[in-house]
Structure 1
C-alpha cells in the first residue's frame, strides 16, 4: 500500500501505519510502507538540522505588540476576508481551524472551532508562535513554505511525536507580482476529521487570495498614475513614478521600466538607485517621484547568490557606490544558480533542458530571463545567457547538498542535490 492512498483507509489504521513508518525512519530502518517523497525529504532535512523528534525546538512566542505590528505590515491582512469566506465556515463544521502565518513562519491569525483552538494551544500552535520547519519539524505551515507548494501532513507524518494526533493542510501564498513568499494559510485539526479534498480546497482559496492581491495592486497603480499625471506633465527630463515597493505607475522622457529596485528605507533627497543611478527622490501620495540625473551607473563588482536557507533565497549586488539585495522567486533562484554553474554561458534551449528536461520550452525561459534582467540589468548578457565576465559571483550553499533549493524539480538542480558533496560550487 502506498501512503498516497491512505485517504481511502480508516483514519486510525492509517495513523498506526504512519507511526510505524516514522519509527522505522528515525531508526534508520526500512519500513513496510514508503513515506511520500515530500515527507521523506522533509524528515531528512529535520534529521540533518537536529530537530528533536520528541519535543521540537520551540522558540520564543512573539509578544502581542509584535504580533499586532506584523499583522499591520503583512500584505496578507488585505486578503483575510477572502480566506475567512473561503475556509472558516467549512473548517468550523469539520472541527478544524484556519491558521495564517507570515513568511517567517510566525502565526499571525488563528480562527475556528473553540475545542480545536484549545487543542492547538496545547501544541504551541498559537499567535506569535514560530512554526518554521526547522523549528517544529514537518508541518502544514513550515513545510509548504520550504517546498513552495501545497502539502498535507497527516498524523505521524509530522516529525515531532506530539503532533501525530493532528492533521494539517497548508498552501503558500505568494506575491503575484514577483513570486515572493508572503506566508502560508493552513487548515488543521484532529486526524479523524481529515478529508482527502481538504488540501485542494485550501490551495484553491490561497489562489483566490493571490488573485485578490493582484487586483489590489493594479488598482493602487491606477490611483497613483492619476496622481502622477499632472506632476509629470510639468516636468522635463527623465522621470518615473513608482509605488512604495518600486513598481512603476508612469514614466516621462524614458523607456518604461517595470520596477525600480529601491532600498528598504528610502528618504527624499539625492539618492543612488541600482537600476537608475543618481536620482532626486520626492514623495508622492502612495509612492515616489524619481528624477534621474543622467550620471553613469556605478559598476557592480560582486554578486552574492544566497541559497543557504531553504525557502528563502536572495541575490545581493555590491557596487562601489551602494549595495542592494532582493529576495528571489523559486524560478529566478534556479536560473541564477544555473548561470553561476555555467559561467561560460547557457543558451535558452540548454536552460530549458536544465529546468524542464525539455529543450523546446525556450519561450518560458526567455520570458523568465527577461524578468531577471529587469533588476540585474547589465550584470547579465544574452546569446548565450551569462553573467558578465568582469563580475565576481559567489554562491552560498546549504551545508548539506540535499538541502539545495528543496522546492525545485528541475533536472539539473535535482542532479546537483543528489550528487556527491564535493561536486558543489562555492564561488566563481
Structure 2
C-alpha cells in the first residue's frame, strides 16, 4: 500500500471512518516529515508543500477580514461571472440544498461573492468563515478546493483531512474555474461544499459540467455581440481602399478588407484610439466603432522586428510575455498552456520539433496535431518572434525568463514533464536571462 496513491474513487469505496482515519494518517506523516502509509494525490501533495514553505499553521483557524458591503456589491456588479449566476444557481443550488451542501461563487482573487443552498449548512459555514466577502485563497485558508483550484488552474476536490488546516477536516468541497471564452481570463471559481458526510466522488464532475455550461452561455452571448459589430462595420469597410479590420474589445474579428482574415487580433492591455504598434501588423491607426475598434495597418512596409522578449512566470496565477523593439512594446497575458509552451522554448534555444514539444508538454510525442494548433495560436501574437521547423525563438531575439523565487512555484497548475522536472530541481535564480548574438 506504500507505493499507491489515495485517489477519490478509492476513498469512495472505503468505509467513511476508515477513509477519514487513513487521510489523517497521511497528513500527520507529511507534517512530521515521515513517509506516509499511502501517497496523497499529487494536487494535494503540491498544495501541502506550498503551505509548508509558507509556514502556514495547520492547527490555526480559518478567518478572513470580510469585504465591506459596498465593496462586495461593487465586485458583484463588475464581474462577468455575475451574468451567468442564473445558470450556475440553476445547475447546482437545488442539488446542493437536497444533499446538505452549499454552492459558493468567488471572484479571481478568491473572494466569496455569492453562496446559496442548504440553510443549516450555511449557518455551519459561518463558523469556518465560508461566507460572502471572505477570502478563500490558499495563503489565507490553506489547502481547500477554492484556493487550490485557483493555484492549480483546474477543477479540484478536497475531502476531510486533505484540507491543510485542521478546522476544515469535517468538510468536503469540489471547485472548478470559470473562464471568459473571449480572452481566456479567469473569472472566478464555482464550488460546492458541505459536511464531510456529504462527500461523493461525482460532485466534482457535476461542478465542472455546470462551470463549462456557464462558459458556453458566455460564448453564445459573445457571438451575438460580434454579429452586431459586423453589421455596423461591414458598410464602413466597403468604402475603404486599404487594409483594415473591425475587432471587438477583446480582438475578435467581426469584418476585414484588403487582408487575410484572422479569428482574433491580440490586443495590448492598454489599447485605444490613435497610432498603436501591434507585433503582427506593425504601426496601425485605431478608431472607435460602436462595440469595437476599426484597425487600419499603415502601409509602411513589414512590421519592424522585435529584439527582446520577457517571459514573466514569477506570479502564481498570472503569466505574461512582453515584446519590445524599436517600434514600441507590447504585453500579452498567457493561458496556462501557452505559458508552458513558451517556457519550454526558452529552455531549449536550439528549438524543438512538434514531437519533442508534445513529449515536453503532454508526455506523449504523438500529440503533434495539438501542439501545432497551439503553436499556431501563439504565433498569432508573436509574429516575428517565433520561428518554426523547429519551433524556437528567432535568432536575433534576446529572451529573459522571470521565475518565481522557489522552483516548486513554477507554473503550479502544470503537469507538463518539462515543467515538473524544473520544479523538482533543488534551487534556481529568481530570474534567468538568455542572450542571443
Judge same fold: TM > 0.5, yes or no: yes
Query: Following the alignment from structure 1 to structure 2, what is the Cα–Cα distance between the partners of residues 414 and 169?
Result: 24
Residue 356 (structure 1) aligned with residue 359 (structure 2)? no
Residue 251 (structure 1) aligned with residue 253 (structure 2)? no
Residue 319 (structure 1) aligned with residue 319 (structure 2)? no
Counterpart in 2 of 1:37?
Answer: 42
Deviation of residue 55 (structure 1)? 2.8
Counterpart in 1 of 2:127?
Answer: 122
Single out whichever of 82-91 and 255-264 deviates more from structure 2. Answer: 255-264
Q: Aligned pair count?
A: 428
- When residues 362 and 56 of structure 1 are mapped into structure 2, their CA distance, relative to the original with a 3 A threshold, is farther
Deviation of residue 422 (structure 1)? 4.7
* Mapped contact 1:416–1:423 kept (Cα < 8 A): no
Counterpart in 2 of 1:105?
Answer: 110
Q: Secondary structure at the match of 1:241?
A: strand
Q: Return the match for 1:142 from 142, 147, 150.
A: 147
Residue 3 (structure 1) aligned with residue 6 (structure 2)? yes
CA-to-aligned-CA distance 1:58-90 (integer Å, 9 cap, x gap) = 554333333333323322122222211111110
Q: Secondary structure at the match of 1:317?
A: strand
Q: Secondary structure at the match of 2:136?
A: coil
Query: Following the alignment from structure 2 to structure 1, what is the Cα–Cα distance between the partners of residues 325 and 75?
Result: 32
CA-to-aligned-CA distance 1:225-278 (integer Å, 9 cap, x gap) = 112111211222111111111111111112213222333343333333443333
Structure 1 gaps, min length 5: none
Q: Secondary structure at the match of 2:129?
A: coil
Q: Return the match for 2:221 from 203, 216, 219.
A: 216
Counterpart in 1 of 2:336?
Answer: 330
Query: Following the alignment from structure 1 to structure 2, what is the Cα–Cα distance between the partners of residues 279 and 334?
Result: 30
Query: Following the alignment from structure 1 to structure 2, what is the Cα–Cα distance between the partners of residues 294 and 68?
Result: 48
Deviation of residue 154 (structure 1)? 0.6
Deviation of residue 26 (structure 1)? 1.2
Structure 2 gaps, min length 5: none
Counterpart in 1 of 2:185?
Answer: 180
Counterpart in 1 of 2:414?
Answer: 408
Query: Following the alignment from structure 2 to structure 1, what is the Cα–Cα distance between the partners of residues 85 and 300?
Result: 44
* Mapped contact 2:305–2:385 kept (Cα < 8 A): no
CA-to-aligned-CA distance 1:14-44 (integer Å, 9 cap, x gap) = 3333223222211212333432222111101
- When residues 281 and 3 of structure 1 are mapped into structure 2, their CA distance, relative to the original with a 3 A threshold, is same
Counterpart in 2 of 1:167?
Answer: 172
Equivalent positions of 1:211-360 (< 5 A) are: 211-295=216-300, 297-360=303-366
Q: Secondary structure at the match of 2:251?
A: coil
Equivalent positions of 1:77-88 (< 5 A) are: 77-88=82-93
Aligned-residue Cα RMSD (Å) equals 2.2
Deviation of residue 321 (structure 1)? 4.2
Query: Following the alignment from structure 1 to structure 2, what is the Cα–Cα distance between the partners of residues 19 and 290?
Result: 59
* Mapped contact 1:271–1:279 kept (Cα < 8 A): yes
TM-score, normalising length: structure 1: 0.93
